[in-house]
A = this chain, B = another copy of it.
Amino acid sequence: MSVRTKPRYQQLKDQIIQRISTGDLRPNDRVPSENELVAAQNVSRMTANRALRELTAEGYVKRIAGRGTFVSDFRSQSHVLEVQNIADEIADRGHVHSCKVLRQSRQRARGEIARALHIAQGVEVFHLLLVHFENDVPIQIEDRHVVADFAPECLEQDFERETPSAYLTSISPLQEAEQVVRAQTPNAGVRERLQMDADEPSLVVIRRTWSNGRPVTFARLHHPGSRYELAGHYAPPGIHKSTSADVVQLEALKR
């Protein structure tokens, strides 16, 4: 069985993604220039150009003519993964985000948590339980489990200052995410923490995020249905005919 070698430009891409994944290259770090890749990797400039251009389209790096190529920070990564950080989302609306940590502890993974994170029953994970506020109104309960060796210092972080999402992204770029959205009737604890009415439904986002080929965190995000909605905008790259004003208009349809 002969192994078909990957194309050279793909090997370059893989190398750079690898360096980003391992933290060798961190957000805003400078990536080798095309000419440096030509010299170091023995490829033509067009091949190096293709690798870096595709990494740009995929959101890994950003390029500035005349300056160089730089690893994307979380903000630009998000256009690939569409995994929002709720703090940024609230800031975008011009509101104030705050957050209260209810639990930040070690726990043994059981049942669905162990299965979702691809680890054995009873292996230690970190458990985070937070409430996020938008202008002091509770807007999300974040119930998250994190694989321990992915973020060993998870228990020492101050998540009221930096959200778990931002922290986890700073450790290593998140490369893949699966999510499921459900409408649910909240249980009493959720309803009380989110100050919801008795018959108000909640919008639950269940999200599993992958880094470096394995699941690293599993989160259940509960939102009050009357105060929260998920907005999405899908278009092929390069086509953005609808303006943000249009999206605002669509939002305004909410009575």
Contact = CB atoms under 8 A, between A and B. Distances in A.
A225 B253 contact: no
B253 A176 contact: no
Interface in A193-237: 199-203, 206, 208, 210, 213, 215, 223, 225, 229-237
Contacts of A185: 199-201, 225
Interface stretch (A94-102, A130-138, A141-149, A242-250): A242-250
A184 interface: yes
A162 interface: no
Interface string A157-182: 00000000000000000011111111
A27 to B, nearest CB: 16
A181 B229 contact: yes
B199 A250 contact: no
Given A175-B236, A201-B225, A180 B251 contact: yes
A66 interface: no
Nearest to A200: B185
Interface string A52-66: 000001111000000
Q: Is the interface of A mostly helix, strand, loop or mixed?
A: mixed
Number of copies: 2
A177 B237 contact: no
B182 A181 contact: no
A239 interface: yes
A236 B60 contact: yes
Contact of A175 (B116, B239, B254): B239
A216 to B, nearest CB: 12
A117 to B, nearest CB: 11
A155 interface: no
10 contacts: A115-B249, A176-B242, A181-B181, A181-B230, A181-B232, A182-B203, A185-B201, A201-B201, A203-B203, A210-B242
